[in-house]
Chains A and B, each alone.
Chain A
Amino acid sequence: MGLDTVSSASAHPESEQPFAELGLKPDEYQSIREILGRRPTSSELAMYSVMWSEHCSYKSSKVHLRQFGEKKPAEGWPQLLVGIGENAGVVDIGDGWAVTFKVESHNHPSYVEPYQGAATGIGGIVRDILSMGARPIAVMDPLRFGPADAPDTRRVLPGVISGIGGYGNCLGLPNIGGEVVFDASYLGNPLVNALCIGALRHDEIHLASAKGIGNLVVLYGARTGGDGIGGVSVLASETFSEGGPTKRPSVQVGDPFMEKLLIECTLEVLHAGLVEGIQDLGGAGISCATSELASNGEGGMHVWLDRVLLRDPTLSPEEILMSESQERMCAIVTPADLDAFMAICNKWEVEAVVIGEVNNSGRLTVEWHGEQIVDVPPRSVAHDGPVYSRPMQRPAYLDALQADAPDRLARPATAEEVRSTLLTLIASPNLASKSWITDQYDRYVLGNTVLAQPEDSGMVRVDEVTGRGVAVSTDCNGRFAKLDPYNGAKLALAEAYRNVGVTGAVPLAVTNCLNFGSPEDPEVMWQFAEAARGLADGCLELNIPVTGGNVSFYNQTGTTAILPTPVVGVLGVIEDVTKRTSIAWSDGDVIFQLGETRDEFAGSEWAHVMHGHLGGLPPKVDLAAEIALASVCADGLGWFHAAHDISDGGLLIALAEMAMRSGVGAQLEPTGDLFVWSFSESTARAVVSVAAEDAQRLTALCASQGVALQRLGVVAGDRLDLGGPIVTIAELREAHEATIPALFG
């Protein structure tokens, strides 16, 4: 077929178009025809299909995500400099500094092609941060895989880890944390989320808008190739089907060296004041960048598509519009600044070309060798896509699931059984040491990493003079979310908040990556709606805003969806990182538990590992208690020797991790039921250790904040002594460190 121009679309209104193959539903295709008053050209169809995909348009989630903007304090959020809707939200961290952070999913590509899928996930989120005008300063990866011993996990996990390392290490960004979780529901649907943090001064914020009539649209970075065509529509917005065609051509291929040059080049043109507006090219490529820039700016743009530099000269205009080739950016530059802009690109050996011009036509027009192939209202492509209120239904299985409490499960009865349970849990894949994985990531580069795995949060210094820095943690227990999505999302939020709080940082903002099954399944949609509602309510209670995030649907194979997995990232600020609290205690410290322990085992690691059980209601959420706990930990800056969140696996796991981290054991004094004391997963708790002379001070502090305090013992020796059963640090390490290398090494 020849070139399909705007005039041929008008002349041949009834030509059949492959909208269904491009992922559009018949009614969506019909509304495109109504918007345009004719059938779309094949190029227009390509643009709408990628921009109206679930991944880009949030068409199923939008009605629920609105709560993140609507549920806020009467006075708004003072720390929020840029809110939801931009490439990433920007938060004020004081002293004229701001940070931007965001988490995104690259789940489907990582299943199809683990190395490139994970690598380009890092690349994409880094460009999002960069396009706000920020220097990327760290990355993290929340990851979820099928059972650790499943053959397909052995295919996917090593590739994902190599991809994250191969790309991130070469980019020079420290990887400061994340999660690695195994569960049968992720077999065939691994979750590869990537988070990036960037820092900038307040006056350096840039936005994606094409302002200034006559300004030029410059595409720079890597050349456009045939990779990743339709990645967002064909790949990320559909369920995998058994025996379906392989989707490998939809996965992008990354070049981290190009991205490193792109980072330095972009920061230099930004600092030189040569950029009026900027947008990264990720999902939906040129279609997304041009339509969003035009829609946010003067409203019009003309593009000469044949000027785009190509890796493959045979690409058609439709393919160029849809290509998701990596390492590309789009900048709006005044004609007067163009030479200076090009000179900096030249210095970094980055190719750049003017592909368009800003105008006030109200239309996005694209021409190809003199022929008009696109003429659309940019808002209709970028922002006014379809919005669905999908049917929702509380899952039929939920009552029975919630009634099946773990009370009936056999519990360790003797001290010796508690000891062996500890050793089994600490060696189980979810709780085992992840060093084999994190040792493949550079955590030192840039020289500002203060805390990294296995600490509760990653922490980086932002200002080398004052020591101001930020801490970030991501968390989610999908089992809790399955039992109760509303409270499960709140629990994910609470855990991330606590992990930031125990370091002494003050929690400030939230990002999220909501990973769910198919939105076309009413029960999945209900889970999503409940989780979104829980997260929005929880943020309001904790008084920290959602600054942005990502939704990943269609994480299911056939009719089996993943555990609902609303991954929550919390960012906190710390004025002086030299005072931060780590999880490593010191010999002679007195150890305390802050917070209250209840008999709570539904969804716990114990029930999961020892009994393969999931049922009941998850632990109670108490966000007021979380605020009090974080406040105590912030007051402990400088005199708390160690603090560690109690969550997965319970208190005894936390104590074992602290002993292994510091190489010193503890003489413990368990109280009450030894099993509940050891393994309950009640929330709003932390272990804190202080010098003996500060014990009174801690008691007074906790009393003033209404935080329960219980003495656990003292730091001493080379073992955890439970006043009966004893387990040495050497035994713990042997169990803890062997599992992952044995499976994947």
Chain B
Amino acid sequence: MTSRIGVVTFPGSLDDRDAARAIRAAGGDPIALWHGDADLPDVAAVILPGGFSYGDYLRCGAIARFAPIMEQIVARANDGMPVLGICNGFQILCESHLLPGALTRNDHLHFICRDQKVRIESTHTAWTADFTAGQEIVIPLKNGEGGYIADDATLNMLEAEGRVVATYVGPNPNGSRRAIAGITNARGNVVGLMPHPEHAIDALTGPTTDGLPFFTSVLTSLLASR
């Protein structure tokens, strides 16, 4: 049970297979979850993958948050189940109010796909424990609406509480405030990340293998909490 990690497929999810592959590479068992199912099967953690759920219509993630499966995911997340939202998944977590703030159109108005240097700012989350604080990694960034925004009070709070999980190194790729690439909730079980660690698990198909510790971290933390 501790190695079963669900990956939700919404209409328009694109990186669901990649997330499942990354879980397998880390030694876990990916479990395919369908957006329309109201019941959450026996999984120890959940990944909301990248893509364009519902075509990004209305607003990125705004429709997906109302998918039947989200009700239980939100409830279980509030009980401490690890949840990772990548890219569109991050947007869904913000729309679901599991994480504060929002993601807006890249400041340069173009979709961008590139190998991005990112610094791990916090290792006190279920998804980053296998990194060392301050570690710099390179993983793909690919999004059109990746600019993280929140009001100053929220940003100050996130920084003061160590809830900024990752920041961009070098030129800000999308206009994110304070170069934020990822954040976590107060408990550290829910993480939203704009870049894509699931595309950096194998040097053959990704720029590095720097993404793998996100997936080993959660397996480690699940074992420790058993």
Residue numbers of A with Cβ under 8 A of B are 162, 165-166, 169-172, 255-258, 260-261, 347-349, 438-450, 461, 464, 577-578
Contacts and interface: CB of A to CB of B under 8 A. Distances in A.
B11 A257 contact: yes
B114 interface: yes
B55 A256 contact: yes
B110 A440 contact: yes
Given A450-B204, A450-B205, A461-B205, A439 B140 contact: no
A444 B56 contact: no
B62 interface: no
B18 A445 contact: yes
17 contacts: A169-B52, A257-B11, A257-B57, A260-B12, A348-B11, A439-B112, A439-B113, A440-B113, A442-B113, A444-B113, A444-B199, A445-B18, A445-B142, A447-B205, A450-B205, A461-B205, A577-B204
B14 A578 contact: no
B55 A170 contact: yes
Interface string B58-91: 0000000000000000000000000000000000
B17 interface: yes
A461 to B, nearest CB: 7
B55 A257 contact: yes
B121 interface: no
Contacts of A578: 204
Contacts of B175: none
Nearest to B13: A172
A257 B12 contact: yes
Given A441-B111, A445-B142, 7 more contacts: A166-B111, A170-B56, A255-B55, A257-B12, A261-B11, A445-B199, A447-B15
A448 B202 CA distance: 10
A169 B111 contact: yes
A162 B111 CA distance: 8
Contact of B140 (A166, A256, A444, A450): A444
Nearest to B19: A447
A443 B17 contact: no
Nearest to A436: B110
A577 B204 CA distance: 8
Contacts of A450: 204-205
Contacts, number: 88
Nearest to B202: A447
B145 to A, nearest CB: 12
A674 to B, nearest CB: 36
Contacts of B95: none
B210 interface: no
Contact of A257 (B36, B52, B110): B52
Interface string B141-167: 010100000000000000000000000
B22 to A, nearest CB: 8
B52 to A, nearest CB: 5
Contact of A444 (B52, B57, B142): B142
Nearest to B53: A257
B4 to A, nearest CB: 21
Contact of A443 (B36, B54, B113, B204): B113
Contacts of A256: 52, 55
B11 A439 contact: no
B21 interface: yes
Nearest to B144: A169
Given A447-B205, A448-B205, A442 B55 contact: no
Given A169-B111, A440-B110, A444-B199, A449 B11 contact: no
Contacts of A169: 52, 111, 113, 142, 144
Contacts of B54: 257
Among B51, B54, B198: residue with most chain A CB under 10 A? B51
Interface SS majority for chain A? mixed
Contacts of A461: 204-205
A577 B205 CA distance: 10
Contact of A165 (B12, B14, B111, B140): B111
B196 interface: yes
A447 B198 contact: yes
A449 B111 contact: no
B206 interface: yes
Contacts of A172: 14-15, 51
Contacts of A445: 14-15, 18, 50, 142, 199
Contacts of B196: 444
A442 B205 contact: no
A439 B114 CA distance: 6
Contact of B17 (A257, A348, A438, A447): A447
B86 to A, nearest CB: 12
Interface string B2-38: 0000000001101101100100000000000000100
B108 to A, nearest CB: 8
A417 to B, nearest CB: 35
A51 B198 CA distance: 46
Nearest to A580: B204
A347 B36 CA distance: 9
Interface in B181-226: 196, 198-199, 204-206
A461 B18 CA distance: 13
Contacts of B17: 446-447
Nearest to A259: B55
Contacts of B11: 257, 260-261, 348-349
A348 B113 CA distance: 28
Contact of A447 (B18, B56, B113): B18
B18 A446 contact: yes
Nearest to A165: B111
Nearest to B36: A347
A449 B205 contact: yes
Nearest to A445: B14
A258 B54 CA distance: 9
B142 A442 contact: yes
A233 to B, nearest CB: 31
Contacts of B36: 347
A443 B54 CA distance: 21
Given A257-B11, A260-B12, A448-B205, A441 B113 contact: yes
Contacts of A162: 110-111
A461 B204 CA distance: 10
Nearest to A438: B113
Contacts of B140: 444
A348 to B, nearest CB: 7
Nearest to B57: A257
Contacts of B21: 447, 464
A165 B144 CA distance: 10
A170 B12 contact: yes
A171 B12 CA distance: 8
A446 B51 CA distance: 11
B52 A170 contact: yes
Nearest to B14: A172
Nearest to A258: B55
Given A349-B11, A449-B205, A578-B204, A440 B18 contact: no
Contacts of A441: 111, 113
A469 to B, nearest CB: 10
Interface string B114-151: 10000000000000000000000000101010000000
A464 B24 CA distance: 13
A348 B54 CA distance: 11
A449 B54 CA distance: 25
A172 B142 CA distance: 12
Given A255-B55, A445-B18, A440 B111 contact: yes
Contacts of A447: 15, 17-18, 21, 198-199, 205-206
Nearest to A441: B113
Nearest to A347: B36
A438 B12 CA distance: 22
B114 to A, nearest CB: 5
A262 to B, nearest CB: 11
Contacts of A577: 204
A562 B198 CA distance: 44
B109 to A, nearest CB: 9
Contacts of A171: 14
